[in-house]
């Protein structure tokens, strides 16, 4: 166990870092301010194989593992965490189809998802339930050979601009086992979208309510077996949590890199900021926090790849630890910039705003503690 990357992994990371540096970072502040969803640049990333990172090559994907995925998301998030995070959600949906879709669903959607011809959204949260997702009330009623979907999904990333929606809806009784997953195309009659939410960060991707008013889909639009939707949604989130953690890591690393450069240039009291030992220690603490986060994130990702029984718990631990550490490091990097850190042009305040939501979505960090607590208490 030497924790080093293979040549292929190092090359993938380098490729994603170069892309982030050339195509993402130079525009990130502009996207944030204009609330622009850079679909063209997302598609450029997908041309490099990043639209279906873990999708099997038979269906147009890159056939890589979770470790490679977290390397990519960390690298892209150095350019813009919101950009990388949307790409991770798109990939999460593609992987759900790759893993659980019928052959017809796979050939209908995967090649186009991998190239970015289609973009995807994941619809679990509802206005009245987020953390308690198994209480969802969107219904899918059987109507002959079809289902009619009615309800609302809240906070849906990419919604309105994306083409394919995986919607978790109730086909049975209360609780997790009454939920099934459906693939809904944007053009479906009865599907509509709310306004783009005004948010603290993540402005480079839209967030909208998805309204379903008797949306008719064929029975074969169900993803996986009836009643398995909640299980599929949770399984996808195990991986999603490592992706979001990777996005925090990349954003925070970029903030730390900026702080290292800045404290080497800025002077106060006749010396460079990085000549004050208190600030040297601050930089050291930040570097330690990120390296600990990275090493642990790789462990969680490897556990998922190896399908270890403790993978869910490790992913929850990593999501909580890395997103908390990432936000904290970015915020400390802002402090090291003094007043300039508060100005948009320095790019630090945007990172802080973008990383804050990673402590909330894909399961709040309280829910991550709940998952871990359940497991450790069960071991007693």
Select from 25-33, 137-145, 150-158, 257-265 the region that touches ligand FAD (CB under 6 A).
150-158
Nearest to 181 by CA among 154, 158, 214, 147: 147
Q: Of the residues 23, 235, 349, 362, which is catalytic? A: 362
What burial class does residue 123 get, using C-beta atoms within 10 Å of its C-beta: 0-12 exposed, 13-18 middle, 19+ buried? buried
The CA distances from residue 318 to 242, 292, 301, 314, in Å, are: 7, 10, 9, 6
Q: Which of 27, 102, 107, 364 binds ligand FAD (CB under 6 A)?
A: 364
Q: Is 357 in the site for ligand FAD (CB under 6 A)?
A: yes
Q: Is 9 in the site for ligand FAD (CB under 6 A)?
A: no
Q: Which of 22, 257, 291, 366 binds ligand FAD (CB under 6 A)?
A: 366
Task: Say whether 157 sits in a helix, a strand or coil.
Answer: strand
Nearest to 124 by CA among 147, 99, 96, 87: 96
Q: Is 45 in the site for ligand FAD (CB under 6 A)?
A: no
Nearer to ligand FAD, 119 or 256 (CB): 119
Cβ atoms 139, 179 nearer than 8 A: no
Question: Least separation, in Å, of the C-beta of 68 and ligand FAD?
Answer: 23
Q: Which of 19, 37, 109, 122 binds ligand FAD (CB under 6 A)?
A: 122
Select from 91-99, 122-130, 212-220, 300-308 the region that touches ligand FAD (CB under 6 A).
122-130
Q: Is 361 in the site for ligand FAD (CB under 6 A)?
A: yes
Cα–Cα distance for residue pair 365/370, rounded to 1 Å = 9
Q: Which residues of 4-22 are buried (b: 16+ CB within 10 A; e: fewer)?
A: eeeeeeeebbebbbebbee
Question: Least separation, in Å, of the C-beta of 127 and ligand FAD?
Answer: 8
Asked about 68 being catalytic, the answer comes back as no
| Residues at the interface with ligand FAD (CB under 6 A) | 89, 121-125, 130-131, 155-157, 199, 202, 207, 357, 360-364, 366-367, 370
């Amino acid at each position: 166990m030497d924790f080093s990357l293979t040549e292929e992994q190092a090359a993938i990371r380098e490729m994603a870092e170069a892309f982030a540096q050339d195509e993402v970072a130079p525009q990130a502040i502009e996207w944030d301010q204009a609330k622009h969803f850079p679909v063209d640049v997302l598609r450029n990333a997908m041309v490099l194989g990043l639209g279906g990172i873990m999708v099997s090559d038979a269906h147009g994907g890159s056939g890589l593992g979770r470790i490679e995925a977290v390397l990519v998301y960390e690298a892209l998030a150095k350019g813009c965490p919101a950009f990388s995070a949307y790409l991770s959600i798109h990939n999460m949906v593609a992987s759900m189809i790759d893993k659980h879709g019928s052959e017809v669903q796979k050939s209908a959607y995967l090649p186009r998802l991998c190239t970015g011809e289609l973009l995807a959204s994941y619809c679990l949260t509802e206005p009245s339930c987020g953390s308690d997702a198994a209480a969802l009330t969107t219904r899918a009623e059987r109507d002959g050979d079809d289902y009619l979907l009615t309800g609302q999904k809240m906070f849906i990333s990419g919604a309105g601009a994306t083409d394919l929606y995986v919607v978790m809806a109730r086909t049975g009784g209360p609780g997790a086992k009454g939920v099934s997953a459906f693939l809904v195309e944007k053009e479906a009659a009865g599907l509509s979208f709310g306004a783009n939410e005004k948010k603290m960060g993540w402005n480079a991707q839209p967030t909208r309510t998805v309204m379903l008013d008797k949306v008719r889909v064929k029975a074969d639009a169900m993803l996986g077996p009836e009643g398995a939707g909640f299980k599929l949604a949770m399984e996808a989130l195990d991986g999603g949590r490592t992706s979001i953690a990777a996005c925090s890591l990349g954003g925070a690393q970029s903030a730390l890199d900026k702080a290292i450069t800045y404290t080497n240039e800025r002077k106060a009291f006749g010396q460079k900021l990085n000549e004050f030992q208190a600030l040297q220690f601050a930089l050291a603490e930040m570097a330690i926090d990120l390296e600990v986060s990275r090493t642990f994130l790789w462990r969680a990702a490897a556990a998922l790849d190896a399908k270890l029984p403790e993978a869910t718990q490790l992913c929850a631990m990593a999501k909580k630890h890395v997103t908390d550490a990432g936000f904290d490091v970015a915020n400390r990097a802002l402090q090291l910039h003094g007043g300039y850190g508060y100005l948009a042009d320095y790019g630090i305040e945007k990172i802080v705003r973008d990383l804050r939501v990673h402590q909330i979505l894909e399961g709040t960090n309280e829910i991550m503690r709940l998952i871990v607590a359940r497991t450790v208490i069960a071991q007693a």
